Chains A and B, each alone.
Chain A
Amino acid sequence: MSRDRRVVVTGLSAVSPAGVGAEALWRAARDGQSFGARVSGFDVSANRSQIAAEVPALDWLALGLDREDLARLDRVDHFSLVAARGALLDAGLERFEPHRAGVVIGTAVGGVGFMEQEFRRVCRRQDKDKPSWVAVDPVSVNGHLYSAFLAHSVSSEVARRVGFEGPCFTVATGCTAGLDALGAAAELIACGLADVMITGGADAPVTPIVLTAFDNINCLTRRNDDPGRASRPFDRDRDGFLLAEGCGVLVLEEEEHARRRGARTYGSVLGFASLSNAFHMTSLPAEGTELARTLDRLFERSRVSPDQVDYINAHGSSTKQNDRNETAAFKLTFGARAKRIPISSTKSVLGHSLGAASALESVVCFRALAEGMVPPTANYENPSADCDLDYVPNQPREARLRVIECNASGFSGIHSAALFGHPDFRPGKRRGFLANASGTPSPRSSEAA
């Protein structure tokens, strides 16, 4: 086995507020067309945040699902099935060794919608105000509940339908899950345990309990009267993230495997790193130190220097804390260059779809490489004192893109980051992303801050 198996991207697809497919997603991201509307599927009148960016009504049967899928799986599985099939079609992958092909998709909350709906049907109202133990009717519970709720199904249902027989599981790290899944999938290929992986992230969290859970810790936007401008990362008036849903899927392939079949490649996965901040379950420090440490580790683990990064697709969740933390981290890792690297947040367009977000953003990054175009941060109107970098306000920008850095932060103090390269980009001779970090000199930008 070659020690240096490179990982390329050969297929992209998505289900997002922009509709189905990577093209619709890219157009929305490029044009800075921000989604968001009042939640209509359930009563939100008692919530402080009442808006979300939802996937529009789709004809699932026309998209290849059957009535059984609709009856016995959760919406999140519908997303992953449609996006995975789209990405495979895009990759043109028809012949493959089944046991060398796997599926690792990320999710934050999995099939919570199905579970919650069923809970309301079978849970009895008690005299008690808030019981420690609920009382349910176990006899009438829906027979498909186990697999519909199980987060594993987000990946295993895809594997089952497309006939991939290699490694399969769901990464469930919350808001970094999409990028974490991509990292795991890339490394399964790099270390020789697979040749092809379907990866990405999927979430359908616009449900009463999930909206409330985030609302009650004050991390959602309350700009209910102006949903289209509610997600405004790095802007002075940002007030929390816009809950969203969707799924981004990428087909990763070992470079030689892709080359042999003459596949078109969107680019390569140059590196992945992830660390914990041990700071707080939901909060972030202002100084960006831990995220910067993750970015430093990313460069240590790849053959790329911070000086080669042409564009940063930020987490940019539109919360006060995240955008400040992220800005500080970019300054630490990229030094004076931080002010000159275009940075944008796709969440300004799509909202924050939890585990799906960084996967959708990864899809956008590979389209950006192909188009030579930096997508903007939408709704950016007023500079914020603690966010003073170039966020590519509202208009896309043509640029020669060779290397993109994409990162995500989430609950439990997880920071994850990846590097994506243009098909023409050849990394240097330094250690590859199989290599250990220890002993490598500091990879921070050569320019002083």
Chain B
Amino acid sequence: MSRRRVVVTGLGPIAPCGIGKEAFWRASLEARSHIGRIRRFDPTGYRCQVAGQVEGFEARDWLDVKTRNQTDRSVHMAFACCEMAVADAGLDLDGEDATQVGMYFANQFGGMEFAEPELYAQAYLGPQRVSAYQAIAWFYAAAQGQWSIARGILGFGKTLVGDRAGGIMALAMGSLAIRQGHAQVVLAGGFEAPVVPYVWAIHQTSGLLSEHRQSPEKAYRPFDAERSGLVLGEGSAILVLEERDRALARGARIYGEVLGYALGQEPVASPLGLASASRLAATLRAGVAEARIEPEEIDHVLAEGLGTPESDGEEIAALEQVFGALPRRPSVSAPKSMIGHTLAAAGAIDVAWAALMLEQGVVLPTVQLDRPADPSRLDFVTGAPRDDPPENVLCLSRASGGGVACLVLGRGKE
């Protein structure tokens, strides 16, 4: 018996370049940096003082006042993304078997925008001053709980933490949940709102952040000779994953099929260590094999692009190992250079980009990549989008402690 196939039928992105699929894609085609000095708090004294920030997002457009008060910005964005994804998929939730609709989300540190003042209250004002909502606002599974309650979702719901690879992992595990028969529809993705004083200090200890001695829009430039490290962004993307036969039966628009995925790990020397080029390459090969296609059938790679010399070097070497010797090599880009790395949302935003690239027949570039730092045979898309319709896009993410996750989104066979 063949395994169940999983397709993407809905997209709900919120990113520094736009809220909702249309605005997000339109701005992505403009291919410019949306990174600026931090406005949400005074970043003086921090190593990195720039970020990709979402402008114009109003939680009240999406959540009632009670739910807003029980949650933080990351959950507000996740909630809105779920709503947009469902609408984009043309799903009528009221007409669905609610026990067959599931969720698989990822985030990094929970609702810390909510939690920071509560930590302050606990430390300086006493426990009686800590909000009664702290217990439900901070923890990782807040978004799945709030959204399922708001919309009467009764299905399989999970939240994972996989560091910066969490978004890809959530999409992979969400696909697996469909394949394993836990649900027929799964909303999957990630959400992050890290532009908060204490969490920003925590990220500063990841060893990756840029000190950007240049202007903010030039701070994040993966693979470029002038790169200075990682710049973070806030945002969220939730995708509707759906069992393919069901999607076909209801005449849904299908962006692409989750053809395969792989998760790998390497026993690196420290908790912050990153997997080597060979481990990265092995995981990419496993993901492509799981997709039941050949490496030369990958048309485009959405790279991780952490923007440090060491990590970029490893990533390029890995892509060289997998694709370098092929007669037909995929193009490569890191569009997240426009918005910053959105942590556990990044992988989901990448897959949303991949879905739109398949639909629109365009590949997005890396911005601020003027002069590649490392010589390679890779075909970097830079400057402007390229009209080169891809059939299969490989998305990859890396986690601290040696983690790697990749996912192939493709047109799929009939």
Complex Cα gap A193–B206 (Å): 30
| Cβ of B95 to closest chain A Cβ, rounded Å | 16
- Report the stretch among B304-312, B318-326, B363-371, B395-403 that lies at the interface: B395-403
Complex Cα gap A294–B165 (Å): 30
**Chain A residues numbered 154-177 whose CB sits less than 8 Å from any CB in chain B:** 156-157, 159-161, 163-174
**Chain B residues numbered 4-62 whose CB sits less than 8 Å from any CB in chain A:** 4, 41, 45-47
Q: How many A-B residue pairs have CB under 8 A?
A: 292
User: How many residues does chain B have at the interface if contact means C-beta atoms less than 8 Å apart?
Assistant: 94
- Report the stretch among B114-122, B211-219, B292-300 that lies at the interface: B114-122
**Chain B residues numbered 117-149 whose CB sits less than 8 Å from any CB in chain A:** 117-132, 134-136, 138-142, 144-146, 148-149
Is A60 in the interface zone, CB < 8 Å from B? no
Chain B CB within 10 A, most for which of A119, A129, A164: A119
- DSSP majority for the B interface? mixed
Is B204 in the interface zone, CB < 8 Å from A? yes
Judging by beta carbons under 8 Å apart, are B154 and A133 in contact? Answer: no
Complex Cα gap A53–B203 (Å): 32
Is B253 in the interface zone, CB < 8 Å from A? no
Residues of B within 8 A of A115 (CB): 202
A130: contacting residue among B129, B140, B153, CB under 8 A: B129
Say whether, besides A164-B265, A216-B132, A153 and B205 are in contact (CB < 8 Å): no
**Chain B residues numbered 192-221 whose CB sits less than 8 Å from any CB in chain A:** 196-198, 200-207
Say whether, besides A163-B267, A170-B162, A276-B157, A147 and B400 are in contact (CB < 8 Å): yes
- Report the stretch among A207-215, A339-347, A367-375 that lies at the interface: A207-215
Judging by beta carbons under 8 Å apart, are B401 and A130 in contact? Answer: no
Residues of B within 8 A of A208 (CB): 122-123, 127
Chain A CB within 10 A, most for which of B139, B179, B181: B139
Say whether, besides A122-B201, A173-B158, A411 and B139 are in contact (CB < 8 Å): yes
Judging by beta carbons under 8 Å apart, are A213 and B161 in contact? Answer: no
Say whether, besides A151-B161, A213-B130, A169 and B119 are in contact (CB < 8 Å): no
Is B263 in the interface zone, CB < 8 Å from A? yes
Residues of B within 8 A of A290 (CB): 154
| Cβ of A129 to closest chain B Cβ, rounded Å | 7
Complex Cα gap A273–B198 (Å): 37
Say whether, besides A131-B120, A133-B41, A281-B149, A273 and B182 are in contact (CB < 8 Å): yes
B282: contacting residue among A99, A135, A213, A293, CB under 8 A: A99
Judging by beta carbons under 8 Å apart, are A275 and B130 in contact? Answer: no
- Report the stretch among A7-15, A102-110, A323-331 that lies at the interface: A102-110
Is B69 in the interface zone, CB < 8 Å from A? no
Is A286 in the interface zone, CB < 8 Å from B? no
Judging by beta carbons under 8 Å apart, are A280 and B169 in contact? Answer: no
Binary interface encoding of chain A residues 225-246 relative to chain B, with 1 for a CB under 8 A from any of its CBs, else 0 = 0000000000000000000000
| Cβ of B90 to closest chain A Cβ, rounded Å | 22
B46: contacting residue among A138, A172, A277, CB under 8 A: A138
**Chain B residues numbered 279-295 whose CB sits less than 8 Å from any CB in chain A:** 279, 282, 286
Residues of A within 8 A of B122 (CB): 116, 208-209, 212
Is B249 in the interface zone, CB < 8 Å from A? no
- Report the stretch among A29-37, A313-321, A433-441 that lies at the interface: A433-441
Smallest CB-CB separation from B399: which chain A residue?
A152
Residues of A within 8 A of B400 (CB): 146-147, 150, 152, 156
Q: How many interface residues does chain A have, given as a range? A: 35 or more
A137: contacting residue among B45, B134, B159, CB under 8 A: B45
Judging by beta carbons under 8 Å apart, are B45 and A169 in contact? Answer: no
Residues of B within 8 A of A168 (CB): 162, 263, 265, 399, 403
Judging by beta carbons under 8 Å apart, are A72 and B271 in contact? Answer: yes
Is B1 in the interface zone, CB < 8 Å from A? yes
Is B248 in the interface zone, CB < 8 Å from A? no
Residues of B within 8 A of A170 (CB): 160-162
Complex Cα gap A112–B317 (Å): 36
Is B376 in the interface zone, CB < 8 Å from A? no
Say whether, besides A156-B271, A160-B268, A208-B122, A293 and B141 are in contact (CB < 8 Å): no
Smallest CB-CB separation from B140: which chain A residue?
A172
Is B385 in the interface zone, CB < 8 Å from A? no
| Cβ of A31 to closest chain B Cβ, rounded Å | 32
Is B314 in the interface zone, CB < 8 Å from A? no
Binary interface encoding of chain B residues 96-109 relative to chain A, with 1 for a CB under 8 A from any of its CBs, else 0 = 00111001000011
**Chain B residues numbered 145-192 whose CB sits less than 8 Å from any CB in chain A:** 145-146, 148-149, 151-163, 165-166, 169, 173, 176, 179-182
Chain A CB within 10 A, most for which of B121, B182, B266, B271: B271
Judging by beta carbons under 8 Å apart, are A160 and B153 in contact? Answer: no
Complex Cα gap A65–B177 (Å): 36
Smallest CB-CB separation from B118: which chain A residue?
A209
Is A143 in the interface zone, CB < 8 Å from B? yes
Judging by beta carbons under 8 Å apart, are A215 and B127 in contact? Answer: yes
Residues of A within 8 A of B124 (CB): 125
Judging by beta carbons under 8 Å apart, are B117 and A152 in contact? Answer: no
Judging by beta carbons under 8 Å apart, are B119 and A166 in contact? Answer: no
Is B264 in the interface zone, CB < 8 Å from A? yes
Judging by beta carbons under 8 Å apart, are B130 and A123 in contact? Answer: no
Is A3 in the interface zone, CB < 8 Å from B? yes
Complex Cα gap A283–B68 (Å): 19
Residues of A within 8 A of B47 (CB): 138
- Besides A129-B125, A170-B162, A172-B139, 17 other CB < 8 A contacts? A73-B271, A103-B265, A119-B198, A147-B272, A150-B161, A152-B161, A157-B271, A167-B263, A169-B165, A209-B118, A275-B157, A276-B145, A276-B148, A279-B149, A411-B136, A412-B145, A434-B180
Partner-B contacts on A (CB < 8 A)? 3, 46-47, 72-73, 99, 102-103, 108-110, 115-116, 119-120, 122-123, 125-126, 129-139, 141-153, 156-157, 159-161, 163-174, 180, 184, 187-188, 190-191, 193, 208-209, 211-217, 273-282, 290, 293, 297, 301, 410-414, 434-438
Q: What are 24 A-B contacts defined by CB distance under 8 Å?
A: A120-B123, A125-B124, A133-B41, A133-B117, A133-B196, A133-B197, A138-B47, A146-B400, A149-B109, A150-B163, A156-B265, A156-B401, A160-B402, A169-B160, A169-B162, A174-B140, A209-B118, A209-B134, A213-B134, A276-B148, A276-B154, A412-B141, A414-B157, A436-B181
